[in-house]
Structure 1
Amino acid sequence: MNVAFFLTPKREVVCENLDSTMRQALERMEYHRYAAIPILDEDGKYIGTLTEGDLLWKLKNTPNLDFNNTTKIKIEEIPRRVINNPVHIDSNIEDLIAKSVNQNFVPVVDDNNVFIGIIKRSDILNYIYEKMFNKRKIEA
């Protein structure tokens, strides 16, 4: 099975770029109720994943930083504590499942490292559950 089966395309994914501000990321994540979002560079290449934890640690560890002045902090200035490596579109399902164990979504890139979408862990689990349920139903 090809990992593309699970792909949520880029046009349906909330992303930020390195030039965005901390405030923009906070507001976007709150609006969409996301705990993490992909970060892309100006060429659309996947740079990493920004998490709520990254934002909280930046807020905690930066003297005099509060919500009102988060407009002065660029995403590129925020250390990311977790590295979410992407899979390539031609990766095998085993690699995808291994990466999805520790992250809510797995970024997907093409051969040029250009971001093309994500694969949500919930989509993988739902697929596996459905396969198991149908298998048990047939065996019974």
Structure 2
Amino acid sequence: MTTVAFFVIPKQDVVFLDKNATMRQALEKMEYHRYTAIPIIDELGKYAGTITEGDLLWKIKNNPGLTFDNTAKVSLKQVPQRMKNLPVSINATMEELIGRAIEQNFIPVVDDDDVFIGIVRRREIIEYCSKLIP
């Protein structure tokens, strides 16, 4: 039986941001890695949400004095997250994982204490499912 653990990209191989990071740090990490969304982790290592390009753009749009140059002064805590990338437990069923993958490009994975342990990308789930089709 295939489990969530089969698909997990471990935390040490995942690009993520600290909850206390700034908008500038998020923008630079997204640009460097060419990602459109990055998980956020709190000081206890727990999953705290996902920041997206859209979240950052809406923050800039809705704050006329905010420019790229002063994004280093804005904490990610001040940026509303419009999408809720919900995590799954490492013990989740394949049905739960696939259900989340329908809505999310990646699924954060947490342990029993909600500590972030990695992500599962939609891509790997689709590749796995395509191999099951005769």
On whether the aligned pair clears a TM of 0.5, the verdict is yes
Correspondence for 1:95: 96
CA distance in 1, matches of 2:89, 2:111: 6
CA distance in 2, matches of 1:49, 1:40: 9
CA distance in 2, matches of 1:103, 1:55: 18
Count of residue pairs the alignment pairs up: 133
Correspondence for 1:21: 22
Q: Which amino acid aligns with 1:69?
A: N
CA distance in 2, matches of 1:57, 1:102: 21
TM-score by length of 2: 0.97
Q: Give ranges in structure 2 of 5+ residues lacking alignment.
A: none
How far did 1:16 drift?
0.4
Moved over 4 A (4+): none
How far did 1:94 drift?
0.1
1:32 equivalenced with 2:37 (yes/no): no
Q: CA RMSD in A?
A: 0.7
Write out aligned runs for 1:1-140 (5 A): 1-132=2-133, 136=134
How far did 1:116 drift?
0.1
CA distance in 1, matches of 2:55, 2:108: 18
- Percent identity, please: 55
How far did 1:130 drift?
1.9
Rg larger in structure: 1
Q: Which amino acid aligns with 1:64?
A: G
